Structure 1
Amino acid sequence: MKKVILIIAVFFGVLACKTNPFTGQKVLNFYGNSQIFPTAFAQYDQFLGEHKVVKGTTESKMIVKTGQRIAAAAERWLTANGYPGYLKDYKWEYNLVDDKTVNAWCMPGGKIVFYTGILPICQTETGIAVVMGHEVAHALADHGAQRMSAGTLQQLGAVAGNIAIQDPEKLNLFNQAYAVGSQVGVMLPFSRSHETEADRIGLQIMAIAGYNPDEAAELWKRMKAHGGAAPPEFLSTHPSNETRIQNLTEWAPLAKKEAAKFGVTSFQ
């Protein structure tokens, strides 16, 4: 049975490689768009039906406008770099939801929500573009499908351990150690790597869209000032504010150079 599980894991690993166009690296992904997107779209519609969506305001129109500019910039980059049609299955949608939570998120396939609570941190359209670029980047890089794939492997490892270990006491110790070890040692770093990747991709596409990437570090300085005590980075799904500020400051000039390839040399 252990051999069967190992063969299945290797089989998935061989077949699950998909190239991230922005990094050129192979990524773990068992699921295609046709498997993920319909469910994500249905869940998104259900969420909107259960929450107060803000329509017709200056802020809600700005969310849509910014999202459209960011998505168009992403398509320009993808087409120019040999990925025409990469976004054919995406159904971009941008909604503002009345909620004090300081957050925004994106579901696979381009379904994005901003909460009104994050607008004071954003302050301007360029600030919105920082957050929008990050969320669009999650969708472009298939991070949702990658998290699902990693979760599948995590579950497979737990099953393998429970089959292999017959002694009840040792099995109990294994389950405790595996739960903590796989989460802190694998899943959380995996999540942080996605957040860092989305920061970098988002910075690049917001610059191509004509938004000033220097604003990204400034936004995270405001986020840091707004937030309270945070858990240690190794126990968090996200990099620390300090790490993000340092990264974004370092990457902003590179994003401007990338935007210049598309004739964008001045920024909003």
Structure 2
Amino acid sequence: MRRCLLLLLATLLLAGCEKTPTGRSQLALVPEGLMDEMGGDAFTQMRRQRPIARDPAANRLVQCVARTVVDAAEARYPGAAMPEAWEVVVFDDPTPNAFALPGGRIGVHAGLLRVAETPAQLAAVLGHEVGHVLASHGNERFTQQLGIRAVLLVVGLVSEGELAREGLMQALGLGARLGIALPFSRAHEEEADQMGLAIMATAGFDPRQSVALWRNMAAAGGGQPPEFLSTHPAHDTRIEALERRMPEAMAAFRDAPPARCAG
């Protein structure tokens, strides 16, 4: 029995060890269909519980930038698994934040538009969030949090559909906090930055605006915890990494038709 379990575990590890769009090896064992269902459930709860912004200009801008970014992500990373459709909602929340959930759900807080001062700066944020989805960071983070034993349980229950999904949600205690309660690691954040820069450049947004965005974020956020105490890179470290990749991003930007999303 023990030998069979070890063999099953080895098989799952080999099956789950894949490459992200940037070529990084990752272990993501939760079935993608289950991740998508949970992302959809979480987003539905958010829409019910949070006020939605009604500003027509803000909604037009966010929808235009999101659509352009998603199209560019598909072109830039054609081998990545893309959601069939994307749902984008602007929430009436003053905090400068945005998120993307498995299955293609994007939430943007209205407060972000006061920090992301141009369409290109908004594209930097949305490209970063789309990068998280394409690289299956949520699945990878779940796998880390659940541990191999729990993942085996999930794989065993997945055929039971609703029971498996509800059991996993309850075990994690997430509900509508999916994608927010589990902070991404610094490696995930750096990879999403890398992908976001490439995506926004391919979309025709000036990638140099990503640096301006994070300077705005630093100014708006005030003090930030020391980098070694945070899963997020410090603003200066993040900007330095973006600037190192800027020549490649600028080459892609020069080859791309300009984005047409008015601010």
CA deviation after TM superposition for structure 1 residue 74, in Å: 1.1
Name the SS for the 1:211 alignment partner: coil
Query: Is residue 2:53 matched to residue 1:26?
Result: no
Q: Which has the higher contact order (CA 8 A, sep 6+)?
A: 2
> Could you say which residue in structure 1 is the equivalent of 2:66?
67
Contact 2:88–2:106, Cα closer than 8 Å, also in 1: yes
Closer, same or farther: CA 257–55 of 1 in aligned 2, 3 Å: same
> Could you say which residue in structure 1 is the equivalent of 2:81?
86
CA deviation after TM superposition for structure 1 residue 33, in Å: 2.0
CA deviation after TM superposition for structure 1 residue 75, in Å: 1.1
> Could you say which residue in structure 2 is the equivalent of 1:167?
none
CA deviation after TM superposition for structure 1 residue 259, in Å: 4.4
Q: 1:264 aligns with which of 249, 256, 263?
A: 256
Q: 1:151 aligns with which of 133, 145, 148?
A: 145
1:120-199 equivalences under 5 Å are 120-153=114-147, 191-199=185-193
CA deviation after TM superposition for structure 1 residue 118, in Å: 1.4
> Could you say which residue in structure 2 is the equivalent of 1:48?
47
Q: CA deviation digits over 1:6-56, x for unaligned, max 9?
A: 7665444222112212x1232110023212101211210111111111245
Name the SS for the 2:77 alignment partner: helix
Contact 1:104–1:112, Cα closer than 8 Å, also in 2: yes
Please give the alpha-carbon distance, in whole angstroms, between the structure 2 residues aligned to 1:11 and 1:5.
10
> Could you say which residue in structure 1 is the equivalent of 2:98?
104
CA deviation after TM superposition for structure 1 residue 153, in Å: 2.6
Closer, same or farther: CA 90–195 of 1 in aligned 2, 3 Å: farther
Q: Report the TM-score, using the length of structure 1 for normalisation.
A: 0.77
Pick which of 24-33 and 190-199 moved more. Answer: 24-33
Name the SS for the 1:213 alignment partner: coil
Q: CA deviation digits over 1:151-191, x for unaligned, max 9?
A: 123887xxxxxxxxxxxxxxxxxxxxxxxxxxxxxx98x71
Q: Report the TM-score, using the length of structure 2 for normalisation.
A: 0.78
Closer, same or farther: CA 10–127 of 1 in aligned 2, 3 Å: same
Q: 2:201 aligns with which of 204, 207, 213?
A: 207
CA deviation after TM superposition for structure 1 residue 3, in Å: 8.5
> Could you say which residue in structure 1 is the equivalent of 2:227?
233
Please give the alpha-carbon distance, in whole angstroms, between the structure 1 residues aligned to 2:5 and 2:241.
40
Please give the alpha-carbon distance, in whole angstroms, between the structure 2 residues aligned to 1:229 and 1:63.
28
Contact 1:9–1:153, Cα closer than 8 Å, also in 2: no
Name the SS for the 1:54 alignment partner: coil
1:244-255 equivalences under 5 Å are 244-255=238-249
> Could you say which residue in structure 2 is the equivalent of 1:113?
107
Q: Which has the larger radius of gyration?
A: 1
CA deviation after TM superposition for structure 1 residue 256, in Å: 2.2
Pick which of 27-36 and 209-218 moved more. Answer: 27-36
Give the AA of the match of 1:86. Answer: A
Please give the alpha-carbon distance, in whole angstroms, between the structure 2 residues aligned to 1:52 and 1:25.
38
CA deviation after TM superposition for structure 1 residue 122, in Å: 0.1
Q: How many residues align?
A: 229
Two-structure CA RMSD over aligned residues (Å): 2.6
Please give the alpha-carbon distance, in whole angstroms, between the structure 2 residues aligned to 1:47 and 1:4.
42
Q: CA deviation digits over 1:218-246, x for unaligned, max 9?
A: 11111111112222212112111111111
Contact 2:207–2:249, Cα closer than 8 Å, also in 1: yes
Contact 1:137–1:198, Cα closer than 8 Å, also in 2: yes
Structure 1 segments of 4+ aligned residues over 4 angstroms from their partners: 1-11, 265-268
Identity over aligned residues, as a percent?
A: 32
Give the AA of the match of 1:207. Answer: A
Name the SS for the 2:185 alignment partner: helix
**5+ long unaligned stretches in structure 2:** 151-181
Please give the alpha-carbon distance, in whole angstroms, between the structure 2 residues aligned to 1:56 and 1:103.
17
Contact 1:207–1:267, Cα closer than 8 Å, also in 2: no
